[in-house]
Amino acid sequence: MNKSYSGYICQDYKPRQDDLVAEFFLEKGRGASFAEACQAIASESSIGTWTEILTMKPEIAERLSPKIFSLNYSSGIVKIAYPIALFEKGNIPQLLSSIAGNIFGMKEVKNLRLEDIDFPAEYVSSFKGPKFGIEGIRKILRVPHRPLLGTIIKPKLGLSPEGHAQVAFDAWIGGCDLVKDDENLTSMAFNNFEKRVKATLAMRNSAEKITGERKAYMANITAPYKEMLKRAKFLKKQGCEYAMVDIVSVGWSALQELRNENLGLILHGHRAGHAAFTRNPKHGISMLAIAKLCRLAGLDQLHIGAIFGKMEGKRFEVKKIGEEIEHKIVHKDFGGHVLAENWLNIKPMLAVCSGGLHPAKVPLLLKALGNDIVIQAGGGVSGHKGGVIAGAKAMRQAIDAAMNEIPLKVYAKMHDELRTALEQWG
């Protein structure tokens, strides 16, 4: 074991108020003890390297050394407190290069997962957070209590701008509040972004007149940064309230800047690709940590999982994420990998449930996550045997039933669209 990887374990250390605390799951690699692997992580994520170096001065080590204040070989849980000076405020990429950087590749570890991060007040307040948050979104859409209903235009790719706008219109007429592009739909040869936005917003205006409800379109601006910004500004100019971004594919540098631009758009985050590093329970980064970073960065809405849908995602985990992004103060919970957090000035971010949802799953979702969610059904709307309007109606009926605590089967007796949906997927 190399000397430069030692001296970080301080089990009697109590994290200072201005420390940043990270919780990891660790499985040691061959040739290292568990304690040695812990030291290697603490070192590589802060000031050390694989060998002793002459350029390291005692005063630097004194000032900047992280402290491993908790480590447990049997659970694999390791908690490290980092002096805040190790991080550049307002710079998420720099934070990740430190505590979610080289350490995943080290030979001293076999598996390593960043489970959670507790940001100190000084760090939290260097971020803008969501511009609108739950309250702002509800105000714009004039839906004070009910879960919001969204759909994703299907097929994912292939429709023309006009075809896309038509499906959107039907979804809005049927009762959707929100209509969303799919994660891989940007500006295509067969479906140009600007044409699609214009056609879809024209239909939005009609749908608002007909229904008397506010309706919104979440257009996917995912692209290299300048093009993404151009598309966002185009949306604002066209009277769109939202912009949607694929957060993982786009990355933190552009995501943060999009919020910093202060465009007056509600930012919706799709998480396509997250499961490449969040799914393995032993290695990578937890979705919880990603969600917290999104709230800091300033997304207004984020996909957190659907529990009962087509994607992997445990009920307990999704519920925790929901609480973490929507509450002001989160108390620590040793079982569930949630460090304490005080979100201070940062508004709550709205949780979005999506992926394989249909009416039969609505009551379960509301029970698990409460009313402050967006329920998105793509196939669960466009796949309805009666068509898109009927599909949207059935979803809205399911929400109405669940909010009034009426069993779906009972409610379906008086609501044809819901009945059809339950027969089809129930």
Near a copy of itself in 266-305, by CB under 8 A: 270, 272-277, 279-280, 283-285
Please identify which residue in 21, 68, 92, 374 interacts with a copy of itself, judged by CB under 8 A: 92
Q: Which of the residues 28, 154, 268, 319 is marked catalytic?
A: 154
CA nearest to 416, candidates 381, 391, 382: 391
Residue 117 touches a copy of itself, criterion: CB under 8 A: no
What is the smallest separation between the CB atom of 362 and a copy of itself, expressed in angstroms?
16
What is the smallest separation between the CB atom of 13 and a copy of itself, expressed in angstroms?
19
Please identify which residue in 94, 238, 342, 371 interacts with a copy of itself, judged by CB under 8 A: 94
Site string for a copy of itself, 51-90 (x = CB under 8 A): xxxxxxx--xx-xx--------------------xx-x-x
**Pairwise CA distance, residues 252 & 101, whole Å:** 14
CA nearest to 374, candidates 130, 154, 132, 146: 146
Residue 311 touches a copy of itself, criterion: CB under 8 A: yes
What is the smallest separation between the CB atom of 46 and a copy of itself, expressed in angstroms?
7
Residue 388 touches a copy of itself, criterion: CB under 8 A: yes
Q: Give the H/E segment covering residue 395.
A: helix 388-403
Residue 315 touches a copy of itself, criterion: CB under 8 A: no
Angle at the Cα of 417 (from 242 to 391), degrees rounded to 5? 30
Site string for a copy of itself, 17-56 (x = CB under 8 A): ----------------------------xxxxxxxxxxxx
Toward a copy of itself, which CB reaches closer, 137 or 390? Answer: 390
What is the smallest separation between the CB atom of 231 and a copy of itself, expressed in angstroms?
11
**Distance set, CA 322 to CA 99, 295, 347, 368 (Å):** 23, 11, 14, 10
- The torsion region of residue 183 among left (phi > 0), alpha (psi -120 to 50) and beta comes to alpha
Q: In what order do the strands lie in the sheet with 109-118?
A: 67-71, 77-83, 19-28, 109-118, 284-285
**Pairwise CA distance, residues 179 & 157, whole Å:** 15
The pairing of strands 242-246 and 266-270 is parallel
Q: Give the H/E segment covering residue 83.
A: strand 77-83
**Pairwise CA distance, residues 218 & 268, whole Å:** 7
Toward a copy of itself, which CB reaches closer, 277 or 372? Answer: 277
Residue 370 touches a copy of itself, criterion: CB under 8 A: no
**Pairwise CA distance, residues 365 & 356, whole Å:** 12
Toward a copy of itself, which CB reaches closer, 177 or 246? Answer: 246
Instruction: Examine the residue annotation and report whether 384 is marked as an active-site residue of this protein.
Output: no
Q: What is the identity of the amino acid at 139?
A: K
Q: What SS3 state is found at 109? A: strand
Residues 177-216 touching a copy of itself, rule: CB under 8 A, are 183-184, 186-190
**Distance set, CA 86 to CA 59, 154, 256 (Å):** 14, 46, 20
What is the smallest separation between the CB atom of 230 and a copy of itself, expressed in angstroms?
11
Instruction: Examine the residue annotation and report whether 14 is marked as an active-site residue of this protein.
Output: no
What is the smallest separation between the CB atom of 86 and a copy of itself, expressed in angstroms?
6
Q: Which of the residues 67, 270, 358, 384 is marked catalytic?
A: 270
Residue 154 touches a copy of itself, criterion: CB under 8 A: yes
Please identify which residue in 69, 252, 308, 343 interacts with a copy of itself, judged by CB under 8 A: 252
Toward a copy of itself, which CB reaches closer, 248 or 408? Answer: 248
Could you tell me the sign of the dihedral formed by the alpha carbons of 137, 143, 147, 153, in that order?
Answer: negative
What is the smallest separation between the CB atom of 406 and a copy of itself, expressed in angstroms?
25
Residue 150 touches a copy of itself, criterion: CB under 8 A: no
Residues 219-238 touching a copy of itself, rule: CB under 8 A, are 222-228
> Would you call the peptide bond into 147 cis, given omega within 30 degrees of 0 as the criterion?
no
Catalytic residues, by residue number, are 154, 270
